[in-house]
Homo-oligomer: A and B are copies of this chain.
Amino acid sequence: MSLTHSPQQAAAVLPLFRDIPEREKDELLKAGRLRTLKKGEKLFRRGDALNTLYILVEGALRQYRETPDGKEVTLGMVLQGDMADGAQAFEQFDSYQWSTIAAEDSILLEYPAFWFREKVKSHNQLALNLIVAMSKQANITAIAAEQRITFSAAQRVACFLLRTCAIHSFNPKDFELPYSKGTIASALGMELETFSRTLQKLRDVGVAVQKARVTIKDVHALECFICDHCSLAGECETITTLEKSCPSGNVAFTKPA
């Protein structure tokens, strides 16, 4: 994965520009500017004037809010193809409602917000894509909310590990955590200390972690550990993806409960 793209290359991947006629797509692409962000850099802060719309081409961002008494709550992660602020850009607000920081080195495509809003008004397919994107986002948020309530810390961590493999096509037998443990903990709605302790406990289920390197012995054992408590059950995209990539052949030891 090189970190050099043209807007054209970048946009080819973006679901937001799907099914848009070439002519209009070109126009959209010419107006966009690529921007890189180093890990730890803030993209915008809550309260900043909302005048740019960002689409993530590569990397990962963390959305968060902070309370007056200094606590920080992670609302969600922005992954490849997501808008960093799409949900806000069309509200009545003229300032950002949450802050966004790079969880790792990232590349964004940026547009003047007012300009993009105009395009959405005139390009119907774009509006539709935007709706679909927001719809998808709402669904992810709903599931995350559910899990924060029904899942134990261990289950949330386990689910995160599997999801990570599915999203990035990692091999569960050996992969690296996508961002720092502090960030992951926060994204899962738990304290770093809890996250650390939880990783230990997961050794019993065949998860070994050394530094950022993770080894999952038996994916199916982990699934059992989680999915019985998850309302997604069979329809979980993570699971179906994993099943495809390692169709129970790669399972070393299947220990039924």
Let me know if A230 is at the binding interface, CB within 8 A: yes
The answer for the CA separation of A134 and B128 in the assembled complex, in Å, is 13
Oligomer copy total: 2
Residue ID in chain B nearest A147 by CB atoms:
B73
Let me know if A124 is at the binding interface, CB within 8 A: yes
Q: Given A90-B131, A127-B131, answer yes or no on A231-B139 (Cβ-Cβ < 8 Å).
A: no
Chain A residues with a Cβ under 8 A of chain B: 46, 65-69, 71, 73, 75, 87-93, 97-98, 120-122, 124, 127-128, 130-132, 134-139, 141-142, 144-146, 148-150, 189, 228-231, 233
Decide if B121 touches A90 in the complex (CB within 8 Å). Answer: no
> Can you list 16 A-B pairs, Cβ within 8 angstroms, ordered by A?
A46-B231, A67-B146, A68-B228, A68-B233, A87-B139, A88-B139, A91-B139, A93-B139, A97-B139, A120-B131, A124-B124, A127-B131, A138-B138, A141-B142, A148-B148, A149-B189
Task: Give the contacting residue for A65; candidates B67, B90, B142, B148; CB below 8 A.
Answer: B142
Residues of B within 8 A of A135 (CB): 87-91, 134
Decide if A121 touches B128 in the complex (CB within 8 Å). Answer: yes
Nearest Cβ on chain B to A33's Cβ, whole angstroms: 23
Residues of B within 8 A of A128 (CB): 90, 120-121, 127
Decide if B91 touches A229 in the complex (CB within 8 Å). Answer: no
Decide if A75 touches B131 in the complex (CB within 8 Å). Answer: no
Residues of B within 8 A of A97 (CB): 139, 142
Nearest Cβ on chain B to A135's Cβ, whole angstroms: 4
What are the 10 closest A-B residue pairs judged by CB atoms, nearest first?
Answer: A87-B138, A127-B127, A91-B135, A90-B135, A65-B231, A134-B134, A67-B231, A73-B146, A90-B131, A75-B142
Nearest Cβ on chain B to A4's Cβ, whole angstroms: 32
Residues of B within 8 A of A229 (CB): 67-69, 71
Q: Given A120-B128, A138-B134, answer yes or no on A145-B231 (Cβ-Cβ < 8 Å).
A: no
Decide if B87 touches A134 in the complex (CB within 8 Å). Answer: yes
The answer for the CA separation of A199 and B43 in the assembled complex, in Å, is 41
Residues of B within 8 A of A65 (CB): 142, 146, 231
